[in-house]
């Protein structure tokens, strides 16, 4: 139990259902849907749609979606990859002919076809009870009638205000007299409300065909994009078999590549060989081991993770005990690795993750993203659809597994997580923050399974991230730990913003209760009934 004399929040316990999101309106929407008899799938889609309105830098209907779903709480976990593809007409050769050797984050060439709406539709058709129209009504209300800006949303909006002027359509919708709205201000998104109404009334086809698709293509082409109506018509989410590994007797599930979930599994495989519990949670030894596992696993990610429809991704090798042994042997407990061991350059970005469990114990781990804050910053004028910039995750490097090709999905950072044990789903969890996510997943799971923390404590615990040759420590990590890490050879810095933001719901099958936590680094909350 937490020290009640110190600032913090208690874990939420509930019986009938629970939801945890990074925005209060989203969490309340999910609980309302559950009370109306909706499933965890209904609640997740409704909550996410609200966040596409009220947390627009982090997610949107112009983005992508991944889901892990455990029907009735069994370990027969269903996976959904609703990540969009590059337009068919693009290629590395096309870009190089135009002297483009890297896809910039605010380039139209970074815009992949949005997969979220088709993903939501597939999830609801498989596991929903209320239908897409009912699930979109709360989001339509906030887009049309207005919503109050929360503090973390206001902070992120303000930090990104300058780049919103890149596209006049985006500036018109997301700035007020050239400025970002402030905390407590009311904001409206009428064009987005109109699009959501059309999708609610006519279904997912209203987004991928007809007037909405035509306006999106027209706007992207006006920026020099290669996008075509055919690309939107061909958009389709893929039902996938989750991958997993064992950690401390539990099975940790992830979506397979093109997602980076395998990176978290490799990190856990490396750490499996150490007794973390003999080191305090914020000790230099624990932080050092996590940092070294990060460097090794991310180097592996950059080498192999790509769209398996285009590249051979050696999952069997990557998840093998032998490979974990080889990587683990490179770790020196007293000294940081040299720079040659970890060449990955992960970057922090925005996303929303949410967990929902309903009265029937359907368990939903759900993530939706535009990638960078406000994605590509390109917004379709009539539809209000703000486009993601997932294509910035490609390389312009023929021969590399993640080289850009028409119809290909980029290496993707968003990863929902789920834990199963003895035939049951026991934890739905996720940690946002772009490339940080595998580290976040590893950190919260080891907090629970090595240190006995509850979901809220696991999310509260201070974080570190080895990034571009530096070990960035949140301010909650003791000075003595930072000093010891420096002596090991780590270059220590403090991040501008906290690392990520997570949500988690754990199921106690013996007691029949739920325990939900929500990350204090965001505006959200966990709730149950």
Active site residues: 351
CA distance linking residue 237 with residue 365, whole number of Å: 16
β-sheet bridge partners, residue 80: 67, 239
For 178, other C-beta atoms within 10 Å of its C-beta total: 10
181 DSSP 8-state letter: P
- 224 exposed, middle or buried (CB, 10 Å; 0-12, 13-18, 19+)? exposed
Choose among 504, 388, 336, 426: nearest CA to 62. 388
CA distance linking residue 185 with residue 404, whole number of Å: 41
- Dihedral pair phi/psi, residue 244, rounded to 5°: -165, 170
CA distance linking residue 366 with residue 153, whole number of Å: 20
DSSP 449-477: HTT---HHHHHHS--EEEETTEEEE-TTS
Q: Which two tokens stand for residue 11?
A: 């874990």
Q: Give CA separation, 423 vs 74, 239, 251, 298, in Å.
A: 6, 21, 10, 31
β-sheet bridge partners, residue 70: 363
CA distance linking residue 9 with residue 340, whole number of Å: 42
């Amino acid at each position: 139990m937490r020290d009640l004399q110190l600032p913090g929040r208690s874990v939420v316990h509930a019986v009938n259902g629970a939801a945890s999101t990074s925005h209060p309106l989203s969490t309340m929407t999910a609980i309302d849907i559950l009370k109306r008899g909706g499933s965890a799938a209904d609640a997740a889609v409704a909550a996410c749609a609200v966040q596409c309105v009220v947390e627009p830098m982090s997610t949107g209907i112009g983005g992508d979606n991944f889901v892990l779903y455990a029907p009735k709480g069994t370990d027969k976990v269903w996976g959904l990859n609703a990540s969009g593809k590059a337009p068919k007409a693009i290629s590395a050769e096309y870009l190089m002919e135009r002297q483009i050797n890297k896809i910039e984050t605010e380039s139209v060439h970074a815009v992949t076809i949005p997969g979220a709406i088709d993903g939501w539709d597939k999830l609801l058709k498989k596991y929903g009870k209320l239908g897409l129209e009912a699930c979109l009504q709360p989001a339509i209300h906030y887009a049309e009638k207005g919503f109050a800006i929360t503090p973390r949303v206001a902070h992120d909006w303000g930090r990104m205000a300058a780049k919103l002027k890149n596209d006049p359509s985006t500036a018109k919708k997301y700035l007020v007299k050239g400025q970002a709205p402030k905390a407590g201000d009311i904001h409206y998104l009428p064009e987005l409300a109109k699009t959501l109404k059309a999708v609610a009334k006519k279904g997912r086809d209203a987004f991928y065909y007809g007037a909405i698709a035509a306006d999106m293509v027209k706007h992207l082409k006006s920026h020099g994009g290669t996008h075509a109506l055919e690309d939107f018509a061909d958009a389709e989410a893929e039902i996938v078999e989750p991958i997993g590994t064992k950690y401390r007797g539990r099975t940790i599930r992830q979506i397979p590549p093109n997602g980076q979930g395998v990176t978290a599994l490799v990190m856990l495989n490396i750490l499996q060989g150490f007794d973390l519990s003999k080191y305090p949670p914020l000790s230099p030894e624990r932080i050092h081991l996590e940092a070294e596992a990060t460097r090794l696993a991310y180097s592996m990610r950059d080498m192999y993770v790509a769209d398996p429809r285009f590249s051979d991704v050696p999952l069997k090798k990557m998840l093998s005990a032998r490979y974990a042994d080889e990587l683990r042997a490179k770790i020196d407990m007293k000294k940081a690795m040299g720079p040659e061991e970890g060449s990955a350059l992960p970057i922090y970005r925005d996303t929303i993750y949410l967990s929902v469990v309903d009265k029937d114990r359907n368990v939903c781990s759900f993530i939706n993203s535009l990638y960078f804050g406000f994605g590509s910053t390109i917004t379709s004028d009539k539809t209000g659809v703000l486009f993601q910039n997932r294509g910035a995750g490609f390389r312009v490097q023929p021969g590399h597994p993640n080289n850009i090709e028409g119809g290909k999905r980029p290496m993707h950072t968003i990863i929902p997580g789920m834990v199963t044990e003895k035939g049951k789903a026991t934890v739905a969890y996720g940690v946002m923050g772009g490339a940080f996510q595998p580290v976040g997943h590893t950190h919260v799971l080891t907090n629970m399974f090595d240190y006995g923390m509850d979901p809220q404590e696991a999310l509260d615990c201070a974080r570190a991230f080895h990034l571009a040759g530096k070990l960035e420590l949140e301010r909650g990590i003791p000075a003595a730990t930072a000093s010891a890490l420096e002596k090991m050879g780590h270059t220590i810095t403090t991040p501008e913003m906290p690392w990520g933001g997570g949500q988690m719901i754990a199921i106690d099958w013996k007691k029949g209760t739920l325990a939900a936590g929500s990350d204090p680094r965001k505006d959200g909350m966990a709730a149950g009934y």
